[in-house]
Amino acid sequence: RKEVEQDPGPFNVPEGATVAFNCTYSNSASQSFFWYRQDCRKEPKLLMSVYSSGNEDGRFTAQLNRASQYISLLIRDSKLSDSATYLCVVNPGGYQKVTFGTGTKLQVIP
Amino acid sequence: EAGVAQSPRYKIIEKRQSVAFWCNPISGHATLYWYQQILGQGPKLLIQFQNNGVVDDSQLPKDRFSAERLKGVDSTLKIQPAKLEDSAVYLCASSLERGQPQHFGDGTRLSIL
């Protein structure tokens, strides 16, 4: 099993739709989790951290399910500007390496 | 607050040549990361520093890649000799501490001919 797995997509959704991505991880001891957004030919940018109790930032909601070892990102009321690749990051902590997923591509269609 | 600075932005070399990349992290950030990102893939961690010590370099091809972070601030990543498969974007990131959110530089786009 890969350390971190994401569905590469693409997810093609109409404007205004709600879309959700999952990211599964194999190390049950992982401690911190993040979602990044990466536009074409740009560097990744932090979208949000993922907290155990779940957290929301405007139209974006992140959740952590430790029992099933996955994190999720929900985007409500999709905008054209949300079109990008969404990368999850899993940090086991200590001296273990941080791992990025391969990313999920989202295309919001007018 | 100044972001992570990287140079050069672009580099084109022939295979078997050498190349070096430079990174200046955000001031006060103890943790520095070098990633390799091949088109269509997520960033792959090459090496992680905590101050000037190496936390993880398990995915660094040590026969050709080397990195250092003297004095715990700036860092350089070197490839010698370069191979065609090294064509990628090399990203530097820093975080306040391990486990904290990372902030990325613009990256260096390397093309090997």
The neighbouring-strand residues paired with A55 are A62
Report helix, strand or coil for B1.
coil
The neighbouring-strand residues paired with B75 are B23
CA dihedral angle for residue A88, residue A43, residue A49, residue A7, rounded to 10 degrees: -20
Name the residue among A43, A99, A102 with its Cβ closest to that of B41.
A102
pLDDT band at A2 (very low <50, low <70, confident <90, very high): confident
d(CA B20, CA B67): 9
* Locus of tokens 């919001």: A108
d(CA B62, CA B72): 21
A31: nearest Cα among A73, A74, A66, A68: A66
Name the residue among B41, B98, B107 with its Cβ closest to that of A43.
B107
Q: Do A97 and B91 touch (CB under 8 A)?
A: no
Pairing mode of beta strands B108-112, B10-13 = parallel
The angle at the Cα of A7, spanning A6 to A10, to the nearest 5 degrees, equals 135
The neighbouring-strand residues paired with B93 are B33, B104
Specify the DSSP class assigned to residue B102: P
Q: Peptide bond preceding A44: is omega within 30 degrees of 0, i.e. cis?
A: no
Q: Does A86 touch chain B (CB under 8 A)?
A: no
The pLDDT tens digits for B43-94 are 999 999 999 899 999 999 999 999 999 888 999 999 999 999 999 999 999 9
The average pLDDT across A26-32 equals 91
d(CA A91, CA A3): 11
H or E stretch covering B46: strand B44-50
d(CA A33, CA A69): 11
pLDDT given at position A96: 80
pLDDT band at B18 (very low <50, low <70, confident <90, very high): very high
The pLDDT tens digits for A43-58 are 999 999 999 899 999 9
Q: Do A97 and B58 touch (CB under 8 A)?
A: yes
Pairing mode of beta strands B75-79, B88-95 = unpaired
Express the helix, strand and coil content of chain B in percent, nearest 5 each.
5, 50, 45
The pLDDT tens digits for B99-113 are 899 999 999 999 999
Neighboring chain B residues of A43 at a CB cutoff of 8 Å: 91, 104-107
Question: What tokens were used for A77?
Answer: 């009321």
Q: Do B42 and A102 touch (CB under 8 A)?
A: yes
Q: Does A101 touch chain B (CB under 8 A)?
A: yes
A84: nearest Cα among A64, A65, A63, A60: A60
Q: Does B99 touch chain A (CB under 8 A)?
A: yes
